[in-house]
Amino acid sequence: MEVSFFCGLLVVTMTIVSCSGDGECEEIMVPLCRGLVGYTHTRLPNRFNHTTQRRVYRIIEPYWPFIDNDCHKNFRLTLCGAFLPKCTPGNSTVELPCRETCFSAKRACSPKLKQGGLKWPNKYLKCKRFRRKKHGSCRKPVRKRLTPQPLRYGFCEQNTFSACANLSIQLRSLPNMFLQSDERIIQIEMDQYELLLQSRCHDNLPFLLCGIFAPFCPTVQQPYVLPCRETCDEVKSACQGAFRRLYRDLRWPAKLQCHRYPSGSSQFPCATPNDAVSLVQN
């Protein structure tokens, strides 16, 4: 017999029961889950009594690099599904991951987490507490290989991502700094910022997003160039307020934190919209 939570109340049960929550379904905005888990809406509070996606994002954000590194396809389904369970309008319950989904992710990802200085989050993802797939509705595991696909390396290729169509630098290199080379996944992540792009909070937002997710190739001698930190700082200063308004009060995403990118005064090359044209011509 195990202890778990039902709508924020301590109960004794054999499995975790889906909690209906108090609110209506709301659109998922957390960037490591949005558009990538097979459903679009959730209901809060969740079974940990988190009432906002901002709070959820803060807790699960440290695991983002391991999802990008693809320790297992079911890690995203388990992590997102536990914190932002599937909500279907008109249905009084939410759908959590299956026990099998959780265990397959734990087996494959625990060693990678340990290498990165983290542990499997048993406080939230104790797999035995999820119901088995044969016992009712739950998010079933993806039955694909346990070993990640190798990265695809492509340098100075035509940039085909939609937000990058009008930039001066039209060549990009992959994988990006997050070790992503799957163009479909990268496009889904970039599409998450469409609302922010439509807000026109800063003219250089497309340049920043494209340079982060698909680093620039200004010349063959410089095939992998990131945006300069100064450009990032300008965009963040202008856009983070709009981001919070448009994305359920979420904080500025980790991948767009400007300290990650080289300064124009450092020894490492970086690109700005002002020098993009000259870089292409070199």
Q: What is the CATH number of the domain that holds 210?
A: 1.10.2000.10
203, 105: one domain = no
Upstream peptide bond of 45 is cis (omega within 30 degrees of 0): yes
Instruction: Tell me which residue of 52, 69, 23, 59 sits closest to 247, measured CA to CA.
Output: 52
Instruction: Tell me which residue of 11, 10, 14, 18 sits closest to 1, measured CA to CA.
Output: 14
Give the residue from 135, 165, 195 where a domain finishes.
135
129, 173: one domain = no
Upstream peptide bond of 175 is cis (omega within 30 degrees of 0): yes
d(CA 2, CA 275): 61
Q: What is the pLDDT along the chain (282 residues), one digit of tens a residue?
A: 333 333 433 333 333 444 444 579 999 999 999 999 999 999 999 999 999 999 999 999 999 999 998 899 999 999 999 999 999 998 889 999 999 999 999 999 999 999 999 999 999 999 999 999 988 799 999 875 445 567 899 999 999 999 999 998 999 999 999 999 999 999 999 999 999 999 999 999 999 999 999 999 999 889 999 999 999 999 999 999 999 999 999 999 999 999 999 999 888 899 999 875 555 444
Instruction: Tell me which residue of 194, 193, 87 sits closest to 139, measured CA to CA.
Output: 87
18, 52: one domain = yes
8, 122: one domain = yes
Q: What pLDDT score was predicted for residue 162?
A: 92
Tokens representing residue 104 in the block: 């397959």
Report how far apart the first and last C-alpha atoms of the chain are (Å, whole number): 68
215, 105: one domain = no
pTM: 0.84
Q: What pLDDT score was predicted for residue 74?
A: 96
193, 95: one domain = no
d(CA 147, CA 273): 39
d(CA 204, CA 23): 37
d(CA 94, CA 146): 28
* Within-domain flag for 149: no
**Structural domain range at position 274:** 154-281
d(CA 51, CA 35): 21
d(CA 78, CA 66): 13
29, 62: one domain = yes
* Within-domain flag for 170: yes
91, 129: one domain = yes
d(CA 37, CA 81): 8
- Written as one string, the DSSP assignment of 78-114 is HHHHHHS-EE-TT-SSEEPBPHHHHHHHHHHHHHHHH
Give the residue from 80, 108, 135 where a domain finishes.
135
159, 123: one domain = no
**134, 107 contact by CB (below 8 A):** no
* Within-domain flag for 250: yes
| Radius of gyration of the chain from its Cα atoms, rounded to whole angstroms | 21
Beta bridge partners of 95: 86
Q: What pLDDT score was predicted for residue 69?
A: 87
**166, 158 contact by CB (below 8 A):** no
265, 180: one domain = yes
8, 127: one domain = yes
Beta bridge partners of 3: 12
* Within-domain flag for 141: no
User: 110 φ, ψ to 5°?
Assistant: -55, -45
214, 259: one domain = yes
From residue 246, alpha-carbon distances to 153, 196, 197, 206, 236 in Å are 34, 7, 11, 17, 14
Q: What pLDDT score was predicted for residue 111?
A: 96
Q: How many domains does the chain have?
A: 2
* Within-domain flag for 173: yes
Instruction: Tell me which residue of 276, 258, 64 sits closest to 172, measured CA to CA.
Output: 276
Q: What angle do CA 24, 73, 243 make, to 5 degrees?
A: 45
